[in-house]
Amino acid sequence: MIGRSFFLQVLVVSLLGLTAFAVLAALAWNALGDDQFNEGLFQRSATLVEMLLPAGTASQAVQEEVLRDVAGRLDFNASLYEPSGLLIAETDKSVPWVEPTVGPGEWQTMDSQRQWLTQLPDGRVLLLELNRGPLPNEMLAVTLTFGVLAIVIAGFIYPITRRVTLRLERLQKDVDQIGPENLSARLTVDGNDEIAKLAQSFNRSTETIEDLVNRQRLFVANASHELRTPLARIRMGVELLETKNTEERRDELRRDIRELDALIDDLITMARYDAGFSRDGWESVDLLELAKEECEHVDECEVNGNSVVVDGDRRMLQHLLRNLIDNARLHGAAPITVDVGQDEHGPSLAVRDAGPGIPESDRGKVFEPFFRGRGKQNKDGYGLGLPLVARIATLHGAAVRVSSHPQSEVAVQFA
């Protein structure tokens, strides 16, 4: 499970690093703190010294002897003072006088808990000091200790993080291999975590880009080929005008120019739709009303159905309907019927004609630019009508379906 999640790998590395730091810091603190006293133990030891001291009525020599003996055994420095601050007894190293601020039987700590004092019931003041030398520079020692811990933990985490970064570096090298002349290159998918999923997503995107570029190259090649035919006829027509300048010849030339103009318009439209579009100009469009407007210009074309409103670009939807009707007129047979309605899937429109329809073997190709089915090579048009229909439908979130039973039909289903 952890190997499949980059997030979990990072989390585990972080937790392991923090755990290692905590353990090592505890061990280091324990090692540095061996020369420090336990506060509770020292306080009890100091109370023991207080209990073993002779009464204030004992001679100064006796008090000093007992103080030296007890403090020496417990490894303390000690001094015993009169209430006025007069020294009574001390060890080899005395503890300077400090005015007590606590009552009899209470302990007062000083000097970062290394020195303690208490006032005895008879008023004497006992001062004790833990007999240890301070570190030369405690702040420097702590800094160095934690610096060493950081280096140790970095050495622990490095192999794991390096493994992750190496995968990212491999991905970067694979990405650098992809270029205009090598769109077939793919990233290496290693594992099943987020990095692997990123590589898979990138490969899918690259496949899409490669497909788009190949389609664009094919589109440009086909467009160039298709443009040659009307241009060649126009060139020939212009040359023939020099020897045979008749009205019939001029009509043929005008027809060729109109055909070329229509082809160029379709190419520009296809390129514009492929480049993307904005929904800013969308509006509510009545499909029934739009179908009636387009059918008015075609003989034997009728519209059936109810008023259905969709959100979209009116000009695009008008182009879609016009291409469907023209396709039925050029490649089908009258009468042409446009049905507009609404079903459980959403708004829909269908253009039917009495022609034989599209052979089943060609139905997967009719939406490819410049495709012409068997027997259609001599028909008007360049194979851009249905591809434009499919592109406009896709931009509007609709799907296009072709069928031939019981009539030839191209239907558009809106979501």
Calpha distance 325→332 (Å, rounded) = 10
Looking at 207, 240, 274, the residue that finishes a domain is 274
The predicted-structure confidence for 365-396, as pLDDT tens digits, reads as follows 777 777 766 655 445 556 677 888 888 888 88
Q: What is the CA radius of gyration of the chain?
A: 48
Position 43 scores a pLDDT of 63
358 and 408 in contact (C-beta within 8 Å)? yes
Asked if residue 251 belongs to a domain, the reply is yes
CATH code of 107's domain: 3.30.450.20
Position 390 scores a pLDDT of 87
Same domain, 27 and 72: no
Comparing CA positions, the residue from 317, 291, 316, 294 lying closest to residue 304 is 291
Q: Which residues of the chain have a pLDDT value below 70? A: 1-11, 25-46, 111-113, 131-143, 218-219, 221-226, 229, 270, 273-278, 372-383
Q: How many CB atoms lie under 10 A from the CB of residue 88?
A: 18
Q: Which domain does 248 fall in, by range?
A: 194-274
Same domain, 19 and 42: no
Please tell me the pTM assigned to this model. Answer: 0.47
Give the chain's domain count.
Answer: 4
Q: How many CB atoms lie under 10 A from the CB of residue 33?
A: 10
198 and 205 in contact (C-beta within 8 Å)? no
280 and 398 in contact (C-beta within 8 Å)? no
Same domain, 400 and 332: yes
Asked if residue 183 belongs to a domain, the reply is no
- Report how far Cα 227 is from the mean position of its chain's Cα atoms: 45
Same domain, 201 and 159: no
Question: Tokens 């004609």, residue?
Answer: 353
What is residue 196's three-state secondary structure? helix
Same domain, 290 and 362: yes
